[in-house]
Structure 1
Amino acid sequence: MEIKYKLYPYPVLSSYSNDYGNGAFDVAIDIVRDGYDLRIDFLATLTCQSLQDCIKQGVAKYVYHLECAQTGFRTIVQTDKVSKVYTLLNKAVNGKLQICPFVVAVDDLKGFTSPDFHEDYQGIAFDIEAGCVMAVGKMVTVDISKDIDDLANTPSIFNISKNPDESCKQMLVDMSQRKIIIKLPISDFYSYKAMSATPLAQPILNSL
């Protein structure tokens, strides 16, 4: 999700509009490794008293939208605190992670107004429905590079076994079952077993 410059039917605090004459909303986002997972630290800075009051009254919250297009991961983190820690599972994301900060109404607001409105809106009150955006921060895009292979623990699609028929001198392949069954002649099977115990030989065996 990318934040688009858009117009709202009511004033919204953002860096790309002048709906508010005073006030700002920004979020510092820090991502650190926590074992295999990621710990995301959010620290919001909101300098609009009327929006702060909405959060204190429980009618608005800080909302962080997290999305990874490569894995299809999407979630939101809600809090009424300026600081928030969220643990993101390593398997959930890969590549670019987009984080969009908002202040969102979580309850209907009747007659909302603010002395920080631009002069064009002074003296005007707005009805804002639950779920509507009240402030927009700057989107952050983070490249998540993995140090571990997601496929490392994936079960093999092959089953390699010894052919009990000693007269058979070639490899037999059976693809009629859930796994591909590979039957090796007795001498080849024991050679395979000996090589598979050597880590340096495993990539060669896999390519073969």
Structure 2
Amino acid sequence: MAEKIPFTMENLVWRSWSNPMVLEECTAEQIDVLEKSDPVAKTHEYYLTLVRDPAALLARSQLFNAIMYTREGARRADKEFAATAESLLNGCVFCASVHSRLYATFGKDRPTMEAFMKDGLGADLSPRLRAIAEFATALAATPPVAGPAHVAALEAEGMSREEILDIANAVAMFAWANRLMLTLGEPEYAAA
């Protein structure tokens, strides 16, 4: 088992605890699913582990792409902030690292994310980001405790029902994806 890595915005790699597929041994169907999944899927141990069940990986990738790459709904930065909050709650260091960097890119606000990664909900957040983080963590809790007050807080920040649903979809999807990552492998620091 690798060293315990704290939450970080550093680039990490994820290592599978099982034997991921070797690309050269994948079937044509598996290669096709990897190509439809993500540009890094053919070299990422997570995808090479999940492609053992190509139908499930295809469904996962289609869901991910439909939620995260749509032009409608919530802004990408808001979805990445929500996914970071959910990943912090669930303890997925790898996912928090990825989503925090994506938020910093799309939101053009690295200092806020650095504070959030350090202090969680105790960080000094704008009312909009606080509403997103509180909704995301309430929705990701087991059992979920998100309710009308969370929705009202998002609406008070100008979010439409469609944007709120989009945030909920992202949080729910990543809660599931985090559980896959947390039970199938662990992060390591990227080689320098």
Coarse TM-score class (shorter-chain normalised):
under 0.3
Q: Which has the larger radius of gyration?
A: 1
Higher relative contact order (CA 8 A, sep 6+): 2
Q: Normalising by the residue count of structure 1, what TM-score does the alignment of the two structures yield?
A: 0.21
Which structure has more strand as a fraction of its residues?
1
